[in-house]
A and B are shown apart, each in its own frame.
Chain A
Amino acid sequence: MMTILLSYNEVQTLARKAASGAGLPHGIAEDIGHAAVWLSARDVDAIGVVVAALADHWPAILAGQAAIDRLCCGETKEVALEERDCRLLLIGLAGAAAMNAGLGLAVRHENGDVVPLTRASEVADRVPSIVALRLMPNASGDVSACFGARRPAATDAEAYAAVLCLAAKTYVPASELSRAQGAGAGTTDND
C-alpha cells in the first residue's frame, strides 16, 4: 500500500475541506478536522476514515454529532455507533470533544463491557467490537493528549487522492477576471 506522510495541519485542513466539499455545514466540517487530528495522533489513517465516512453518510454524521453534543452536556449517557462506515469518525468526533472538555472517553463493546480508552494505540484495535461511546469524568493516560505522536499516522495514497478531490469541490476555477483582479494585482508586481 502506497502511503504519504502528512503534517497534522494538513490532515486537519484536508479533512475540513473535504467535509465542506461533501456539503456538510462549515461548523461540522471544523469538528471533522479536529476529529481527524485526534484520530491520526492515535495511529489511525484519519484521511481514510473521513473519506469513507463522507461517502453518502451525511445523515449519520449529523445525527452522530448531535448525539455527541447531547452526550457532552449530559442529556444522554451513551452514543450508539450504528453505521459501520462512520464508526471511527464518530469516535474521533467524540474523542476530540471529550479532550476539549477535559473528559475521558469510554467504549462499550458488543459483550457489554465498558472500557475506558487510556492508551492511544487502543483506538484502532478496539473499533470492530465497539457499539457505543460514553464519557468519563476525568481524562487519563496518553489518550488525553492532543498529539500522541510528533507526526500523524501515514495516509493511504488512494484516500489522499480521494480527499483532494473532495476538497477541490470547495475551490473556484480561475477566470480571466479573477486572474486579473482576484488577488488585486497592482500597477507594479516587481521592484
Chain B
Amino acid sequence: MTDTPLDLEAGPALALRSPEVVMRLRRMGASFPTRLSFLRSLIRRLAAGGATVHRQVWRMDDQGFGDAVYTLKLGGYDYSLVAFSCPLPDEQRSDRVIAEAWDTSYVLYDGIPDNAEIERLRENAPRQEAGRFGPRDLVLSRANKSMRFFEHVAYNLAHGRQPERDRLGEVGYLLRTTAVYGNGKFGIADRFVLAEREGLGGPFQAEMLTVWLIREFSHDLVEHVARCRAPETFVPLAPELRRHIGVGNSTGLGMAPFLANHPQLLNNWVLAREIALARVRSKQHLNAASLDRLAELWRQAGMHLDQWSVEDDALMARILGLRGEWAEAQAWIAPARLRAISCPVESLLDRSRFMSVDFQELLAALVIEMAGAENDDLVDTMAAVREATFQPGMRLAALRGLLRDHYGWALAVAFDRPAETAQFWYVSQEKLEPRLGRRASEPGADLELPLDIARQMQRLAADLADEPETKTVATFLARFPQHRHAVRRMQIAANAPYSEIHDNLLSDRCLPINLLRCKLAFFGASKFDPRSDRWTRITLFQGAPTAGEIAAGETNDCWLPVLR
C-alpha cells in the first residue's frame, strides 16, 4: 500500500474529468460500484490467496441461538469471525443506531480465539457500543434479521422448497448490519495494525471481510433453523439463490461527514476511479472481446435496473428515467458502429453528456468494468495512511493561488442568503453520532461541526486580503489561528484535486443521502434504497461468490447483481 498521491504528470496524458464536474453532491449521489470498489478488491484478494473458510465452532440450539466461529487465512494471518445469535423481542428490533439490542453480533478477531476469548467476546459483542474491546478485536458489527425474508426462507427450506424468487429479488438479504466499526472504536485494534498486512491493507478491507463472513453465517443460520424444524423435508439453498443473498446494511448520518473529514482519502478513491475511466476513454479501438463484453454488461445493467425498485418516490423516478435512457441508448453500442470510429469509449462518454447524471455515472462504471483487470493496479493507490504534510513555510502568495485554483466553488457561495446556512451539523449528546439540524428552529448551532468548508474558505479569503504576499503561513496563522483547518485543507488540495466536495454542506439543498451513496458505492454497495434523505438501506456482496465458490474468483454478477 502507498499513501503517495498518484502523479498526474506521469505517463501519457490522461483526460481526467474535472473536479468541478465530479465532486458535485448530485453526481456523487449518482455513484455506482465499480471494479475498484472495496468488496470487489477483497474478493479478488481472497481468491488469489486461495482463502478457505473453516467453520471452527457451531454451537446453535434448534431456534438458531448460540455462537459460531469462521476462520480463514489471508496473507499469512488467521482471521476469525466470532458470531453470536440471541433472541430479540420484535419491539426491540430496529435499524436505527438508537437500538440497544440486535439479533446477531460479531467481532472479526485477529487469529483463532480460544474458549476464554470467545467468552470475553460473548460478554461484550452483544452490547456493542457499551462493551469494551481489545487489540485482537479488529472489527465490531451487529445485524438484524430481515423480517420480510428470514422467516420466509426458513419456512420454505424446512418444507422442501426454495424461497420465492420475487421475494428474494425484493429483499436480497437475510441479515442487515446496522453498524460495522473499525479503526480503534471502543478499544478495538487501530487501523495501522492492518495497514501493512498483505490482503487487508486497503481501505475498509477488514470491514468488508467481516461482512462477507457475516453473509456466510446468515446462509448457514437460516439453513440450520430450517433443518432443525423439519430434518426430513429440509432442502439447502440452491447455489444460485444462495449466491444472490447478500448482506443488507442500514447507513445513516454517522457515516455522512466521513468524506469531508478525510480529504486525502476521498481524493485517492476518486482519483483511482477517474484514472481508470480516463484510461478506458483513451482507447483508440475496442477489440471484438471488448465489444462483446460491453454488450453483455449493458444487458446486465439493464436487468439490474429492472430489478431495482424502491419506495422512495424521488429515487424511483430517477430509476424509471434511467431505465428509459438505457433502453434508448442501446443502439449506441452496436458493434458495427463502434468498430467504425476511433476512440469509441470517448464517443460514448461524450454522447452521454446529454443524458441524466445517473446515466453518465452508470456508463462510466460500465466502461471501467469492461476493461477488467487493466485497472486493478489502481486499487493499491486508494489507501491514505495519513493526510498530507502541513507546510507552515508556504508563502501567502502561494496560498492565495491555491484558493483561486481550487476553491472558486466555495468563494461563489452567497452566504448572505439564509438558505445557504439553513442546516448545521452537530454531534448528538445522546448517541455521540453526527446529526443535521435546522439552524432557524433547533438549538446547538453554536456547537456545529467544522463541515462549513465553503464558509471557512470565504472567511480565510477575507483575512488574507490585506496580508503581504511574502508572509509565511506560520506568521499568518500566529495572528489568525482560527484558519489553521482551512489552510491545511488547501495545502492538501494542492496535490489532491478530488479532495473537496464542491458544494456547500450547510445549504438547504444539501442532501446527506448523496454523501452516503458515494461512500457506499466505493464500498461496492448496490440496490440503494433510501428511507429518507438521511439514511439508506443497501445490499453488499449480492451475486458475489460464497465461501464455497471463492477459489473461482469473481462471478459475473459481482458488479451489479442480477437474479437470472
- Give residues in A with beta carbon < 8 Å to B: 5-10, 25-28, 30-31, 62, 65-66, 69-70, 72-75, 97, 100-101, 146-147, 150-151, 168-175, 177-179, 182-191
Contact = CB atoms under 8 A, between A and B. Distances in A.
A69 B435 contact: no
B429 A171 contact: yes
Contacts of A168: 429
A168 to B, nearest CB: 7
B449 to A, nearest CB: 8
B483 A73 contact: no
Contact of A73 (B171, B430, B472): B472
18 contacts: A7-B184, A8-B184, A66-B477, A70-B478, A147-B192, A170-B427, A171-B427, A174-B429, A174-B430, A174-B431, A178-B442, A178-B444, A185-B96, A185-B532, A190-B93, A190-B144, A191-B146, A191-B537
A61 to B, nearest CB: 10
Contact of A70 (B183, B191, B474): B474
A171 B432 contact: yes
Given A75-B475, A172-B429, A183-B534, A7 B442 contact: no
Contacts of B533: 184
A27 B488 CA distance: 8
Contacts of B437: 172, 178, 182
Nearest to A63: B478
B485 A25 contact: yes
Nearest to B391: A73
B436 A182 contact: yes
B474 A75 contact: yes
A26 to B, nearest CB: 4
Given A27-B485, A100-B390, A184-B436, A8 B96 contact: no
Given A172-B428, A183-B96, A191-B95, A25 B512 contact: no
Question: Main SS of the interface on chain B?
Answer: loop
B188 A7 contact: yes
A178 B482 CA distance: 29
Given A72-B474, A73-B392, A173 B429 contact: yes
A172 B441 contact: no
Name the residue among A27, A171, A183 with the largest chain B CB count within 10 angstroms: A183
Contact of B441 (A8, A97, A177): A177
A53 B533 CA distance: 41
B128 to A, nearest CB: 16
Contact of B474 (A7, A69, A188): A69
Contacts of A146: 192, 386
B189 interface: yes
B148 A191 contact: yes
Given A25-B482, A66-B478, A72 B447 contact: no
A31 B387 CA distance: 12
Name the residue among A5, A178, A184, A190 with the largest chain B CB count within 10 angstroms: A184
B76 interface: no
Contact of B393 (A7, A72, A173): A72
Interface in B483-538: 483-488, 512, 530-535, 537
